[in-house]
């Protein structure tokens, strides 16, 4: 249940923290729940998981929520997030991958290496991921995200479970907005909410941006 509205909000306040809070991606969320259960049982390490879909659809959000579901209290120790624009070279990525051959921290079922914005990595760096994902008896789950699946080499795609994020439908987008408004220090009229749903094009990030802009207008006394 939502608590009292916050006194000041920004984009990050609206990012769902758990898989349950992710609205409008039922198929992907159900698959992530199943995969998480397999990992938590200690019996299954899935192949690489490759999330794909347009910017602002919820991939990074879902990756972190999945990490929390798998790792629970070990999230901070066990979940590592790399973004290509961190400027890491292929060599550095290889070093990080080698480190992930170590067993997970005590009590954690696995380590999770989340490589976000995959298409911005050099082809060499992406190639270095392939053998790591194939490593036998690994205790690392490789979680990858990209916008455009076509930009990812076929060999890498073939080694991954593909998770497609699709445009959020209007009824679910209304739920995204009502959850956000329950945290926001303002309310919006139904007609405004409907116009945001129409303009957001199925993308939660667009919807939240518009919500903040419409909210800002309420404080404009000029």
Ligand X SMILES: Nc1ncnc2c1ncn2[C@@H]1O[C@H](COP(=O)(O)OP(=O)(O)OP(=O)(O)O)[C@@H](O)[C@H]1O
Question: Where on the chain is the footprint of ligand X (CB under 6 A)?
Answer: 11, 14-16, 22-25, 55-61, 147, 176, 204-205, 208
Q: Which residue is nearest to Mg ion (CB)?
A: 60
Closest CA to 47 of 134, 112, 125: 134
Q: Which residue is nearest to ligand X (CB)?
A: 58
Q: Which stretch binds Mg ion (CB under 5 A): 3-11, 27-35, 54-62, 64-72?
A: 54-62
Nearest approach, Cβ of residue 116 and ligand X (Å): 7
Nearest approach, Cβ of residue 136 and ligand X (Å): 31
Closest CA to 31 of 15, 55, 51: 51
Nearest approach, Cβ of residue 103 and ligand X (Å): 29
Q: Going by C-beta distance under 8 Å and a sequence separation of 6 or more, which residues neighbour residue 14?
A: 179, 180, 183, 208
∠ CA 176-180-186, rounded to 5°: 140
Distances 151 to 32, 52, 145 between C-alpha atoms, Å: 23, 11, 12
Residue 24 or residue 104: which is nearer to ligand X going by CB?
Answer: 24
Kindly state whether residue 60 participates in binding Mg ion, applying the rule CB under 5 A: yes
Q: Residues 197, 207: contact at Cβ < 8 Å? A: yes
Residue 60 or residue 94: which is nearer to Mg ion going by CB?
Answer: 60
**Contact positions vs Mg ion (CB under 5 A):** 60
């Amino acid at each position: 249940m939502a608590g009292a509205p916050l006194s000041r909000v920004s984009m990050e306040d609206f990012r769902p923290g758990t898989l349950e809070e992710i609205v409008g991606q039922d198929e992907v969320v159900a698959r992530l729940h199943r995969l998480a259960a397999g990992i938590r049982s200690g019996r299954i390490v899935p192949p690489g998981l490759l999330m794909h879909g347009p910017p602002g659809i919820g991939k990074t959000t879902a990756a972190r929520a999945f990490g929390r579901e798998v790792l629970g209290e070990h999230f901070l120790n066990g979940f590592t997030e790399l973004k290509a624009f961190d400027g890491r070279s292929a060599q550095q990525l290889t070093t990080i991958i080698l480190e992930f051959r170590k067993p997970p921290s005590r009590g954690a079922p696995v380590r999770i290496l989340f490589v976000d914005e995959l298409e911005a990595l050099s082809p060499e760096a992406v190639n270095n991921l392939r053998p790591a994902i194939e490593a036998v008896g690994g205790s690392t789950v490789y979680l990858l995200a990209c916008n455009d699946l076509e930009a990812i080499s076929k060999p890498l795609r073939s080694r991954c479970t593909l998770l497609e994020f699709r445009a959020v439908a209007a009824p679910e987008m209304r739920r995204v907005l009502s959850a956000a408004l329950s945290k926001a220090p303002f309310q919006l009229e139904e007609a405004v909410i409907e116009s945001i749903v129409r303009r957001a094009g199925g993308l939660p990030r667009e919807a939240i941006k518009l919500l903040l802009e419409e909210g800002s207008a309420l404080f404009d006394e000029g």
